[in-house]
């Protein structure tokens, strides 16, 4: 192996590096603390150096009369001092984020001492008490992305003024009051109407938050999409679930961060800020007004109906490079289950046709297209069909459908079929015809007959007993009916029952216990009749009038 021996210069550098070094910053810091310690007592600050200092360097007792020639009293409070020294000509010092956070958390009067070491000239000590303005500056700094904040002597006062500076700071409650005032100043920029206070009880201290709109300080547990968001559901869902749902919400973490330094026990009180608003749906054919209750979350404005239905407009969001407001309707899955209690809403939804415009009665702004609201087309059809069917139900009938059933295709198909038949006696929805297998030809004998039709929704089973005009086919030499054709419906009688199991499609025309004809997505299909339908007797011939 070969190698070179270290020369004398290399050995000298190595020995120097092996020694413990005192950095210039350490030297400046030590000088600054000694300078403050020496100068403080001249102005009534009796400084005690903290052995293990982690942000606060001195704890000072305060002599109320430092220039007295006789005995003077000490103030019953102490002052924490964070000393920062500098040799820069500008006298600039820096605080980092940890420094600022530590100062704001202190539960006693605190100040920063800037010691300007002027390299041979007169050293000067400048001070600044952590008051409301200083708290605001540090709070704004912590809300930014900056890592440090700097100050010069121009931002501070001379140490000689310390007694005057401390006079308000040593008053009872100063720290808490200035902290709350600074917090409020930060909160009011983004959360107007929120108030913060600290209260005392036998059990200790707690932070009291009062909000004109509680949704501004509450959020949903976890991260979810808008319509699964618990805050969205509480704000724009059924009013009778509001209190329960709000109790499950959490306080916004960003808001909690603003309360740093206040008692951890938190009481939040206030209201879900609400106001009455009239919305109008209008087209050339119709006009309808509904009274809604307006409220808002940080992300949406909405107007809620007592049934648990809402119009919702999002705050401005960025979509495909453009800022837009998203329009939607919201139906609470746990909303009011009987639409007959809220016919005003059904009437309004019926008026929300494809040609209709929506707007507030107090708006000067242009009205919005009704069908621009997500979900409105289906709700409009639902309301049209249900409003047609409801008057024909027997008095005291159970609920057959409600707004939460909108997503169920079978319910929508049933309402469509019933409404179509009630409005058009010769609709293709009832013009069913068939011949039994093995029998040629078609029904040709004019006849009047009744035939039950089975339908279902998510909530009920419906038997529609149709009185029909049509034609029948009889077996040769027999009275057995082998073919039927319905031409029109002369009358319809509805019966509502609890849901029953049905293995086939709806609606089902039950011609006898062995045969029914179902209207399916692929057309009319013959199939076996449902089981256990003792109340359904099949086709019955009627006497001619």
For position 356, what pLDDT does the model report?
Answer: 95
Mean pLDDT throughout 21-29?
73
So what's the pLDDT on residue 1?
47
Query: Chain-wide mean pLDDT for the chain?
Result: 84
Residues facing residue 268 across a β-bridge:
209
Domain with CATH 3.40.1350.10 in the chain: 24-181
Least confident of 55-64, 373-382, 430-439, 443-452: 430-439
CB 347 within 8 A of CB 387: yes
Residue 291 has a CB neighbour count (10 Å cut-off) of: 15
466: β partners: 451, 492
Query: Are 493 and 443 contacting, i.e. CB atoms less than 8 angstroms apart?
Result: no
Planar angle of CA 468, 502, 465, nearest 5 degrees: 20
Looking at per-residue pLDDT, the higher value among 147 and 243 belongs to 147
Rounded Cα distance between 504 and 525, Å, is 10
Please give the Cα distance from 209 to 455 (Å, whole number): 54
For the chain, percent of residues with pLDDT exceeding 70: 86
Architecture of domain 24-181: 3-Layer(aba) Sandwich (3.40)
DSSP three-state, residue 47: strand
pLDDT at 453: 87
Residue 402, pLDDT score: 94
pLDDT category of residue 514 using cuts at 50, 70 and 90: low
Per-residue pLDDT, 307: 93
At 20, the pLDDT band (50, 70, 90 cuts) reads low
Which residue did the predictor score with more confidence, 522 or 271? 271
Global confidence as pTM:
0.69
Question: Is the model's pLDDT at 532 over the cut of 50?
Answer: no
Q: Looking at per-residue confidence, does 23 or 299 come out higher? A: 299
Phi, psi of 489 (to 5 degrees): -110, 120
Question: What is the DSSP-derived secondary structure letter of residue 311?
Answer: E
Confidence of residue 518 (pLDDT cuts 50, 70, 90): low
- How confident is the model over 153-165, as pLDDT tens digits? 999 999 999 999 9
**What is the per-residue pLDDT for 22?**
62
Question: Percent of the chain having pLDDT more than 90?
Answer: 41
pLDDT reported for residue 298: 83
* Structure confidence at residue 208 as a pLDDT band (50, 70, 90): confident
How many angstroms from the chain centroid is the CA of residue 302? 11
Please give the residue that has the higher pLDDT: either 72 or 170.
170
For residue 286, is it left (φ>0), alpha (ψ between -120 and 50) or beta?
beta
| Average pLDDT of the segment spanning 104-128 | 87
């Amino acid at each position: 192996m070969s190698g070179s021996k270290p020369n004398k210069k290399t050995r000298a550098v190595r020995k120097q590096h092996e020694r413990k070094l005192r950095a210039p910053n350490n030297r400046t810091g030590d000088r600054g603390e000694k300078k403050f310690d020496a100068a403080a007592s001249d102005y009534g600050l009796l400084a005690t150096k903290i052995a293990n200092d982690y942000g606060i360097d001195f704890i000072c007792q305060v002599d109320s009369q430092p220039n007295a020639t006789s005995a003077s009293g000490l103030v019953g409070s102490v002052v924490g001092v964070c000393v920062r020294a500098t040799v820069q000509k500008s006298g600039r010092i820096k605080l980092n984020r940890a420094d600022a956070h530590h100062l704001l958390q202190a539960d006693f009067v605190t100040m920063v001492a800037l010691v300007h070491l002027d390299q041979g000239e007169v050293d000067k000590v400048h001070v600044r008490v952590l008051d409301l303005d200083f708290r605001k500056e540090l709070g704004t700094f912590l809300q930014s992305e900056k890592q440090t904040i700097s100050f010069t002597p121009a931002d501070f006062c001379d140490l000689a003024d310390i007694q005057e500076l401390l006079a308000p700071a040593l008053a009872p409650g100063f720290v808490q009051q200035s902290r709350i005032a600074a917090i409020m100043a930060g909160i009011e920029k983004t959360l107007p109407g929120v108030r913060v206070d600290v209260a005392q009880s036998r059990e200790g201290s707690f932070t009291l938050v009062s909000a004109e709109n509680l949704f501004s300080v509450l959020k949903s547990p976890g991260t979810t999409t808008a319509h699964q968001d618990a805050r969205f559901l509480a704000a724009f869902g059924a009013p009778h679930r509001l209190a329960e749902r709000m109790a499950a919400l959490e306080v916004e973490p960003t808001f909690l961060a603003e309360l740093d330094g206040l008692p951890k026990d938190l009481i939040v009180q206030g209201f879900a800020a609400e106001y009455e608003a009239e919305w109008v749906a209008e087209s050339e054919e119709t006009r309808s007004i509904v009274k809604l209750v307006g409220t808002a979350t940080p992300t949406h404005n909405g107007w809620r109906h007592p049934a648990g239905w809402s119009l919702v407009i999002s705050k401005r969001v960025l979509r495909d490079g453009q800022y837009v407001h998203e329009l939607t309707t919201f139906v609470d899955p746990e909303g009011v289950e009987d639409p007959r209690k809220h016919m005003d809403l059904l009437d309004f939804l019926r008026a929300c046709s494809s040609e209709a415009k929506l707007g507030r009665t107090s708006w000067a702004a242009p009205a919005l297209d009704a069908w621009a609201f997500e979900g409105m087309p289906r709700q409009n059809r639902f309301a049209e069909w249900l409003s047609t069917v409801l008057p024909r139900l027997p008095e005291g009938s159970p609920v057959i459908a409600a707004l939460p059933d909108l997503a169920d295709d079978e319910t929508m198909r049933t309402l469509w079929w019933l409404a179509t038949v009630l409005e058009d006696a010769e609709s293709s929805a009832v013009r069913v015809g068939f011949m039994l297998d093995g029998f040629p030809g078609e029904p040709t004998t004019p006849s009047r007959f009744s035939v039950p039709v089975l339908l279902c929704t998510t909530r009920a089973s419906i038997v529609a007993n149709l009185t029909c005009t049509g034609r029948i086919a009889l077996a040769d030499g027999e009275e057995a009916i082998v073919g039927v054709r319905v031409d029109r419906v002369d009358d319809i009688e509805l019966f509502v029952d609890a849901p029953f199991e049905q293995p086939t499609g709806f609606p089902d025309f039950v011609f006898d216990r062995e045969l029914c004809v179902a209207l399916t997505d692929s057309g009319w299909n013959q199939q076996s009749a449902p089981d256990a339908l003792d109340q359904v007797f099949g086709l019955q011939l009627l006497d001619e009038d």
